[in-house]
Amino acid sequence: MKRFLVAAAFSLALAACASGPSRPRYGPPLKPVANPSEVIAAELAFARLAQEKGQWAAFRATAAEGAEMFVPQRVKAADWLKGRAEPAVAVTWQPHAVWSSCDGSYAVTRGGWQSPNASGTFATIWQRQKNGELKWIADMSLTSDGASAAPEMIAARVAECKVRPVQPPLIAVADSDWQTGASVDGTLRWGTGVGRLGGRTVRVSLWNGTTFETVLEQTVPAPAAVR
């Protein structure tokens, strides 16, 4: 049943990608909206590309300009990936959940990853480009005692759109290079930080119409495996 449900979600997501952004026949493009299925499709395509073309080749091909990785220190993806040799066996991964801003400008996926010697979870921040394509802007692997169990269905949630959010600052993680970001409409926010010893933290909050609700918060100590 699980395989069927994920496959069905993927088929719907691919159909959404194939159709492209909705545009009226005359006049300007329609107002941007969230499309969690398209984000799931982007994450699944990313994982598939890693198996077909190589792990780091997939990261290079799908990274947005200025994208960051955590290895465990914060690095510019383009610099860290340049010329990097592919591992003998590419890591595999699967999305478990997606959170999207109301306008679809940014989304966050979380899922599980597996390599020959380790497993864990990950969080990826996706940015919609000017041409409508989705590329990742930040990627953080989070180790655990084992890969988190895949859900029966990939969970999807979109921020509340009716009430404009008020944005209090995210509380910084002490002794870390804490950095924050937000969607264009402000309904999705995140913070990432690396401590002096290499421990990493990711925090994501979603506007629910009344307040910002923390939907993801995880801290892992260093050293940690990298997806």
Name residue 193's beta-bridge partners.
Answer: 201
Domain assignment present for residue 112? The answer is: yes
Token output for 20: 């492209």
Each residue of 130-172: pLDDT tens digit?
999 999 999 999 866 655 678 889 999 999 998 877 766 667 7
Q: How far apart are CA 27 and CA 12, in angstroms?
A: 28
In the sheet with 179-182, reading across from the earlier edge strand, the strands are 179-182, 188-194, 200-207, 212-220
> What pLDDT score does 145 carry?
60
Asked if residue 59 is part of any domain, the answer here is yes
Instruction: Report yes or no: 141 and 202 within 8 Å, Cβ to Cβ.
Output: no
Q: Which tokens sit at 74? A: 């914060």
Closest by alpha carbon to 220, among 150, 139, 140, 117?
140
Number of domains in the chain: 1
State residue 223's pLDDT score.
65
Is residue 226 one of the residues assigned to a domain?
A: no
Quote the tokens at residue 181. 């970001």
48 occurs within a structural domain: yes
Q: Which CATH number is 58's domain given?
A: 3.10.450.50
- What integer best gives the mean pLDDT of the chain? 84
Residue 62 lies in a domain: yes
Separation of CA 49 from chain center = 16
**Amino acid, single-letter form, for residue 133:** E
Does 25 reside within a domain? no
Task: Give the residue numbers spanning the domain of 37.
Answer: 2-20+30-220
Cβ atoms of 205 and 224 closer than 8 Å: no
H or E element: which one contains 169? none
Question: Does residue 41 sit in helix, strand or coil?
Answer: helix
39-91 pLDDT, tens digit each = 999 999 999 999 999 999 999 999 999 999 999 899 999 999 999 999 999 99
Q: What is the CA radius of gyration of the chain?
A: 17
Helix orientation angle between 36-53 and 55-62, rounded to the nearest 10 degrees: 140
Would 225 be classed as within a structural domain?
Answer: no
Whether residue 157 is contained in a domain is answered as: yes
pTM of this prediction?
0.83
